[in-house]
Structure 1
Amino acid sequence: MSDSELEKYYGNREKAILAFNNMILEEAEKQDVPLLERLKYLSILSANLDEFFMIRISGLKAMMLEEQTTAIKNKHPVKTQQLIHELYEEVQSLHARQYACLNKEILPALNEQGIILLKPDAWTPEVYQYCEALFQNEIAPLLTPIAVFENSSNVFTAIGNLSIHAAFWFKEETNDMQDLVPSLVFIQFPKNCKRFYKIAELKNTYVMLDDIIITFCDTFYPGKEITDKILFKITRDADISVDEFTNDDFVSAMEDVLLSRQLSLPLRMTCTGTSEQLINYIAQIFNLHDNEIFHFDGPLDLKGFLFLYEAIGDEHLKFPKNKQKDLHIKPHEIWDILKREDILLHFP
């Protein structure tokens, strides 16, 4: 039987992975699943899809390059390129349902339960002052703005894998010092900052790091007017291996692999914001095409929402915990019982 005849009996591995993640999303969409568990499923989905791009899509991209070389020689069509296009479309569809579930169902339902994510337009003067002090005292000292000038070559290597960045554009100025004023600035979210900050006076009320940075980032350049702001995250190729047999220093080799992951081929950009011009400009910097841009109507990197799942103690919004059960079996009896039946000792 030829390879073409065998193909109909086998599913595609990457599509099977997306089918599994579709089942995770279906759990999040179920109305009878506890609310925080639904949020947890959305978080798991985001983490899985990041890994899907870093490992599976990166492998397909490498395969596509090999096929393109062969296709030029043998004039064969490039099958992997079409597969990658289909996978990107499927992931776009998954994310659309994911954020529809988050914005239309889960966040409103959490709000009804008294679990509130305060957006900047809902900040009271007291909350605004709290966030401003938080930014100045705890967050701003950890931020390093990256100025992007024309013909700048530092941008590609400065944006690491899976790090959320704020990007903002200055209003153009016409003066003799124009060349010294950056037109675009990136700010990486610090790794050692919390994603959510609780308002002490209000029960289960949080503000997001995303909103704090976007609201107060203009304080880095007083007197300058910012015209556009977005948040974005670059997912890079992480399918980089180390040969433990030929590398004498395995630890050093692993350090090189981790560094390579931060600077490897960009595979997609996820972003949130209203400036299409700025989004397209950043995508162009990383040589990303339209289908590799994922524009979200909500916070980036939902796996960070696992913090809320763990921080909120409302047990009625989670699956009931399994209670430990004593077997009441004498040690010398257990082997006789096992001959007759199985005993469930642990369930993950």
Structure 2
Amino acid sequence: MTSLHALQNGMEHSLETYINRELSLLEFHKRVLAQAKDVEHPLLERLNFLIIFSRNLDEFFEIRVASLIQQMNISGNMATTGPEGMPLGEVLEQISKVVHEAIEEQYKILNHSILPQLQGHGVHYIQHADILEKHKEWIKNYFFNEVQPVVTPISLDPAHPFPRLANKSLNFIVTLEGKDAFGREIDLAIVPAPRSLPRLVKLPKEISGNAEHYILLSAIMQEHISDLFPGMQATGCHQFRVTRNADLTVSEDVEDLAIALKGELSARRFGRAVRLEVNKNCPSHIADYLLEQFELEKDSLYFVDGPVNLARFISNFDLPELRFQPYQQKIPKALYSKKPIFEVLKAGDVLLHHPFDSFKPVTKLLRDAAHDPNVLAIKQTLYRSGADSEIVKILAEAARNGKEVTAVIELRARFDEESNIEVANVLQEAGAVVVYGIVGYKTHAKMILVVRREQDKIKRYVHLGTGNYHATNAKIYTDYGLLTSDEEICEDVHKIFQELTGMGKMAKLKKLFHAPFTLHSQLMELIQQEIAHSKAGKKAHIMIKVNALTEPQLINALYKASQAGVQIDLIIRSICCLRPQVKGLSENIRVRSIVGRYLEHTRVYYFHNDGDTKLYCASADWMGRNLFSRIETCFPIEDKKLRKLIVEDGLNNYLKDNRRAWELQADGTWVQCQPKQDQPVHIAQRYLMNREA
């Protein structure tokens, strides 16, 4: 029995039916990199896509590659990674090959396209090889006044072993000749770049003239590296950067999650090395020496043709013509009136589609609640937010105003742990009740509940969203938010908050699905209903828009739906482990990904249901972690006008995109869509920016 037939009979996946998760994620990063080549994007935005690609790769190595290496150390090279059954060693080999090619392409774009074009606009990046005589006096003064007082050169000798270098820090390895003050002949030293200094320094106008000249800190240090070793001569100076395992592991048996996390955060900077980047001019014997110190193999070494810390290669240029034109966010018509927001929501639900719609209605709901004498309580989940965010300030103010404020803060939101601990402290000091959710289950749901006394009755108001309560993200991420006073939805949200803050059995909800309890089973049932409609000769259609699709059972169910004749359109931003367009398996499935100005983040589930459409928005992607290891919410859109709006704007609009869309092929590759001859260009995000509120 072939693996394809085995799947059709309900057995396990294989490489024929399941794309490796890590390789699929790398394909997404390559789609981001492709934006840096797209001449339709403004020049500085193309540079920004290069930087985003670097940051994405950093996290990919810190989390995903680190996890694979850890698994291989425990289970061996031939242990498999997931449902497709690829050996760990083969996955890491493929990752190394793809990333090496991508990084070569990245620096080619930087050096041969973006930097030369920036020079044409009067912006010059000065690397060490670009230093001119007119720069040298200023560089010398900057080095001795700003750099030398804070830099710490470390010689490598028996008394000074190779230092412990922080994750992603910029460092130099220096080859030396001569004797030091103690008469020692030392041939190697390490110089960490001061983290307190900017990586890009703007040269004064008396040197740069009307142009903008930025010199890299690495160039300044390389120019004067010998001055750090009096009496000795530096014969070579080479940038390098090590990436380390940055995932946090916190036992479920801890007594205080916040204290445990603080301890783990300090360890994150010095986890096991997983990647080494060095400048392309670094001699092979020096690179081999660094690999040995970090206990890495050759395939973990990446030579780069430029700055090794490209993620910090940015500055605030005063060149608006090279940026995306500013976009004025809209306010939905339902909120035009000067009525209190509570009165508006009694009249009907309000839908927000960020960033096209403003985030202000969400903060208005909280602000009105904080100052309304009839409001008794405010409850909110916080996944990613800063202590100085407007929402946190409003919640703190509400607590000081005597409202019963409860904040469920997910401390373990990756790379925001420290910020979330700070948020918890701010709210606790204001008198709010702060809980950290459920140990072992990340609280990823996006919920606000306002409890108000109205004519001797209790009335509830709710905001549910697909994205975080982060005002800055709401300007660059696409997300949906629903403001409602629907009694059953509000009651469901109330019960979920009780689950999060108290003890007891699983809440029985009337309208919401929630993970880790009912969401997965309900999705399986909704897919099965479409299969039944198709087998009965009725129209059957599924449209799903999420960030990632990896959950094997759902993929299997979608394959069965395709085989039953259900039309399936998947809009997946990043990881997609499903193979579309495979004969006999997924011929009725189309998968596309939109990469553009805004980060696609909405989660929308559509089921035709024989004309009685079922439409949901959710905080959850179709991944095992979201469906089984997180607290998630999935909420129905019941208002017919709002439902139609989401179907047209959030789904069909994206299926029409023929410029920023990429389509997944059966072999796992992605092909960018191009408008056909005489066909008008349709860009989904641009359409939403131009539509009326």
TM-score band w.r.t. shorter chain: 0.7 to 0.9
- How many residues in Structure 1 have an aligned counterpart in Structure 2? 333
Question: How is 1:297-316 mapped onto 2 (pairs within 5 angstroms)?
Answer: 297-306=305-314, 308=315, 311-316=316-321
Question: How is 1:111-190 mapped onto 2 (pairs within 5 angstroms)?
Answer: 111-149=119-157, 154-155=161-162, 157-171=163-177, 180-190=184-194
Q: CA deviation at 1:287?
A: 1.9
Is the alpha carbon distance of 1:277 and 1:228 closer, same or farther for their aligned partners in structure 2, counting shifts above 3 Å? farther
Give the equivalent residue in structure 2 for 1:74.
Answer: none
More helix by share: 1
- d(CA) in 2 for partners of 1:48, 1:84: 17
- d(CA) in 2 for partners of 1:162, 1:205: 26
Q: CA deviation at 1:144?
A: 0.7
Deviations 1:153-187 (A, max 9, x none): 732x52121111011111377x9x76x33221111
Deviations 1:126-145 (A, max 9, x none): 42111111111111111111
Q: CA deviation at 1:116?
A: 0.6
Output the TM-score relative to the length of structure 1: 0.86
Is the alpha carbon distance of 1:122 and 1:65 closer, same or farther for their aligned partners in structure 2, counting shifts above 3 Å? closer
2:326 corresponds to which letter in structure 1?
K
CA contact (8 A) 2:154 2:160 kept: no
SS in 2 for 1:141: coil
Give the equivalent residue in structure 1 for 2:683.
Answer: none
Give the equivalent residue in structure 2 for 1:84.
Answer: 92
Question: How is 1:234-313 mapped onto 2 (pairs within 5 angstroms)?
Answer: 234-243=242-251, 245-274=252-281, 275-306=283-314, 308=315, 311-313=316-318
CA contact (8 A) 1:147 1:184 kept: yes
- d(CA) in 1 for partners of 2:77, 2:42: 51
Q: CA deviation at 1:80?
A: 0.4
Is the alpha carbon distance of 1:78 and 1:117 closer, same or farther for their aligned partners in structure 2, counting shifts above 3 Å? closer
Q: CA deviation at 1:31?
A: 1.3
- Match of residue 203, structure 2, among 199, 213, 218: 199
- d(CA) in 2 for partners of 1:194, 1:28: 24
2:220 corresponds to which letter in structure 1?
I
- Single out whichever of 122-131 and 101-110 deviates more from structure 2: 122-131
- d(CA) in 2 for partners of 1:141, 1:336: 64
In structure 2, the gaps of 5 or more residues are 1-5, 80-84, 359-473, 476-693
Is the alpha carbon distance of 1:153 and 1:257 closer, same or farther for their aligned partners in structure 2, counting shifts above 3 Å? farther
- d(CA) in 1 for partners of 2:215, 2:166: 25
CA contact (8 A) 1:231 1:273 kept: no
Q: CA deviation at 1:235?
A: 0.6
Q: Please tell me whether residue 218 in structure 1 is matched to residue 218 in structure 2.
A: no
Q: CA deviation at 1:230?
A: 0.4
Question: How is 1:96-115 mapped onto 2 (pairs within 5 angstroms)?
Answer: 96-115=104-123
- d(CA) in 2 for partners of 1:235, 1:283: 12
Q: Please tell me whether residue 227 in structure 1 is matched to residue 245 in structure 2.
A: no
Q: CA deviation at 1:69?
A: 8.7
Is the alpha carbon distance of 1:120 and 1:80 closer, same or farther for their aligned partners in structure 2, counting shifts above 3 Å? closer
CA contact (8 A) 1:64 1:78 kept: no
Q: CA deviation at 1:95?
A: 0.6
CA contact (8 A) 1:196 1:209 kept: yes
Deviations 1:31-55 (A, max 9, x none): 1110000000011111110111110
CA contact (8 A) 2:225 2:234 kept: no
Is the alpha carbon distance of 1:91 and 1:120 closer, same or farther for their aligned partners in structure 2, counting shifts above 3 Å? closer
Computing the radius of gyration from Cα coordinates, the structure with the larger value is 2
CA contact (8 A) 2:107 2:304 kept: yes
Between the two structures, name the one with larger relative contact order (CA 8 Å, sep ≥ 6). 1
SS in 2 for 1:9: coil
- d(CA) in 2 for partners of 1:288, 1:234: 10
Is the alpha carbon distance of 1:183 and 1:78 closer, same or farther for their aligned partners in structure 2, counting shifts above 3 Å? farther
Give the equivalent residue in structure 1 for 2:17.
Answer: 9
- d(CA) in 2 for partners of 1:204, 1:192: 23
- Single out whichever of 42-51 and 58-67 deviates more from structure 2: 58-67
Deviations 1:259-293 (A, max 9, x none): 32233211110011422221221112212221111
CA contact (8 A) 2:202 2:214 kept: yes
Is the alpha carbon distance of 1:323 and 1:240 closer, same or farther for their aligned partners in structure 2, counting shifts above 3 Å? closer
Deviations 1:65-104 (A, max 9, x none): 2322997xxxxx9910111111111111111111010000
- d(CA) in 1 for partners of 2:263, 2:188: 30
- Single out whichever of 158-167 and 271-280 deviates more from structure 2: 271-280
Is the alpha carbon distance of 1:343 and 1:295 closer, same or farther for their aligned partners in structure 2, counting shifts above 3 Å? closer
Following TM superposition, the consecutive aligned residue runs of length 4 or more in structure 1 with deviations greater than 6 angstroms are 335-339
In structure 1, the gaps of 5 or more residues are 72-76
Give the equivalent residue in structure 2 for 1:35.
Answer: 43
Deviations 1:245-272 (A, max 9, x none): 5334545433432332233211110011
- d(CA) in 2 for partners of 1:163, 1:336: 54
Is the alpha carbon distance of 1:46 and 1:69 closer, same or farther for their aligned partners in structure 2, counting shifts above 3 Å? closer
Output the TM-score relative to the length of structure 2: 0.45
Is the alpha carbon distance of 1:62 and 1:342 closer, same or farther for their aligned partners in structure 2, counting shifts above 3 Å? closer
- d(CA) in 1 for partners of 2:75, 2:223: 47
Give the equivalent residue in structure 1 for 2:60.
Answer: 52
- d(CA) in 2 for partners of 1:130, 1:262: 34
